[in-house]
Amino acid sequence: MPQSVSLDPVDLTILRLLQNNSRTTNRDLATAAGIAPSTCLDRVHRLRDAGVITGYTVKLDPAKLGRPLQAFLAVRLQPHRRPIVAEFVAHARGLPEVRALFHVTGHDDFLVHVAVAGVGELQRLVLDEFTARTEVALVHTNLIFEEWSGPAMMPPPAHG
C-alpha cells in the first residue's frame, strides 16, 4: 500500500484549490495560500513529484459531445483470473464509450461507466462489446439520471 505524504495546511490549500479548478494560476494559488509565487510553484512541483498530484484534467459534458445517455454496467467475469481480467480491462479501456472502469469486490467484478448517444447505442455496446465476450457471465445496466461531484479530497483528520 502506498505511503501517505506529510501535508501541511499550505499544501492542503493548494490541493483543494487545484481540485476545484486545475486552471487556477500559480499567482492565485500563492495568494490564497499566503505564500510567494516561487514558493507555491516549488510546492506544486513537490506535490507532483511525490505522486500526490497525478495529473490535470478537463471535465467535459457528455451530452454536448453527442453522448447524453450515461450508465453503469456491472460486469461479472467467469472465470475471474488474472489473464482474463487483463484482457477484459484492455478491451474495455479501448472502447470510446467507456468513461471509467473499476475492478471491485462483491457479486460483480467490474463497474464500467459509459456514455452513449442513446438507448440503441447502449444496447449495441452491451450486446456486442460486453456480453458477446466469452469471459463475460453477466451484465447489469443502471442508467445515470444525474451526477454530482463530491468535495475536494483531503487526507483524513489526524486522531490523537
pLDDT tens-digit readout, 10-50: 999 999 999 999 999 999 999 999 999 999 999 999 999 99
98 and 44 in a common domain:
no
The domain that holds 33 is classified in CATH as 1.10.10.10
67 and 140 in a common domain:
yes
102 and 76 in a common domain:
yes
Query: Quick one: cell of 97?
Result: 464509450
- pLDDT tens string 47-77: 999 999 999 988 899 999 999 999 999 999 9
Domain for residue 157, yes or no? Answer: no
The answer, yes or no, to whether residue 4 has pLDDT greater than 90, is no
140 and 84 in a common domain:
yes
pTM exceeds 0.95 = no
The total of structural domains in the chain comes to 2
Domain for residue 149, yes or no? Answer: no
Q: How far is CA 7 from the centre of its chain?
A: 23
Q: How far is CA 56 from the centre of its chain?
A: 12
Average pLDDT over residues 73-91: 97
Is the omega angle on the peptide bond into residue 79 within 30 degrees of 0, that is, cis? yes
**Single-letter amino acid code for the residue at 92:** A
The share of the chain scoring above pLDDT 70, in percent, equals: 98
Q: Using alpha carbons, select from 139, 49, 156 the residue that is nearest to residue 88.
A: 139
136 and 85 in a common domain:
yes
Contact predicate 140/74, CB 8 Å: yes
The domain that holds 121 is classified in CATH as 3.30.70.920
- Distance CA(158)–CA(98), nearest Å, equals 37
Query: Quick one: cell of 13?
Result: 490549500
Domain range for 103: 62-144
Instruction: Compute the mean pLDDT over every residue in the chain, rounded to the nearest whole number.
Output: 95
Give the confidence band of 85 by pLDDT, cuts at 50, 70, 90.
very high
140 and 69 in a common domain:
yes
